């Protein structure tokens, strides 16, 4: 299996950055359809500059690493997604505490708490066609895969699949939160950009299990 140490979470963030750079145009296209065409650029800029911050600060534990990146995203990324993703990572960092190695159930608690924080900050629920539609099923799939006896790799694989399904499932939904909600029924038929990027983020977590 894999050890959830600081190196694991560094691989996760590096992979997420790579994907957001590669998919920036795609994410921005999704946002162009129902928003203001900046989602890909926001994430590309935020994660790329976070990489410089963690290279300088060299946080020593998974919790400190996620907290540092979360604070950076909240403070520097304009747009709704900066504070929302900032909250995801800061909340995960807080739940993981100062342990140098995270046990698989603790990662489940961190993911579940992160979803609750985003829902609270965004006043959003599953079905509103937001990032919550990818993140909530991911946290649930992770937790139930572990409960079924799966190891962390299997659980993160299940989480990534659930996140992608959740992102796909936003297509027929009407957006109830964020800029896309201003379109009313015209938001139907489009994938939510934040749900798409959240599926990429959870996939990066799964791919970090590949050492």
Closest contact distance (angstroms) between CB of 165 and Mg ion is: 23
Question: Which region among 60-68, 96-104, 147-155, 189-197 touches ligand ADP (by CB under 6 A)?
Answer: 189-197
Residue from 22, 36, 60, 100 touching ligand ADP (CB under 6 A): that is: 36
DSSP state of 172: T
Question: Which region among 76-84, 145-153, 156-164, 169-177 touches Mg ion (by CB under 5 A)?
Answer: 76-84
Closest contact distance (angstroms) between CB of 39 and Mg ion is: 5
Question: Which region among 33-41, 58-66, 95-103, 141-149 touches Mg ion (by CB under 5 A)?
Answer: 33-41
Place of tokens 């299997």: 154
* Contact of 206 with 138, CB cutoff 8 Å: no
Output the six-digit token pair for 123.
Answer: 């006043």
Report CA dihedral (33, 137, 101, 17) to the nearest 10 degrees.
-10
**Nearest in space to 88 (alpha carbons), one of 69, 61, 64, 62:** 69
Output the six-digit token pair for 48.
Answer: 């790329």
Residue 17 binds: one of Mg ion, ligand ADP, none (C-beta under 5 to 8 A by kind): none
**How many residues make contact with Mg ion (CB under 5 A)?**
6
Q: Which residue is nearest to Mg ion (CB)?
A: 79
């Amino acid at each position: 299996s894999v050890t959830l140490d600081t190196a694991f979470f560094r691989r996760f963030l590096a992979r997420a950055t790579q994907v957001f750079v590669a998919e920036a145009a795609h994410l921005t296209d999704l946002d162009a359809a129902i928003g203001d065409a900046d989602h890909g650029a926001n994430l590309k800029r935020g994660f790329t500059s976070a990489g410089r911050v963690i290279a300088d600060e060299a946080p020593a534990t998974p919790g400190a690493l996620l907290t540092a990146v979360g604070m950076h995203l909240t403070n520097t990324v304009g747009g709704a997604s900066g504070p929302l993703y900032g909250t995801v990572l800061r909340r995960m960092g807080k739940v993981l505490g100062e342990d140098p190695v995270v046990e698989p159930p603790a990662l489940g608690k961190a993911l579940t708490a992160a979803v609750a924080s985003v829902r609270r900050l965004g006043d959003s629920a599953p079905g509103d066609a937001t990032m919550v539609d990818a993140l909530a099923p991911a946290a649930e799939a992770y937790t139930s895969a572990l409960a079924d006896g799966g190891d962390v790799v299997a659980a993160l694989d299940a989480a990534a699949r659930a996140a992608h399904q959740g992102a796909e499932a936003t297509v027929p939904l009407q957006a109830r939160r964020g800029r896309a909600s201003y379109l009313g029924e015209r938001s139907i038929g489009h994938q939510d950009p934040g749900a798409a990027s959240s599926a990429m983020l959870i996939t990066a977590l799964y791919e970090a299990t590949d050492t």
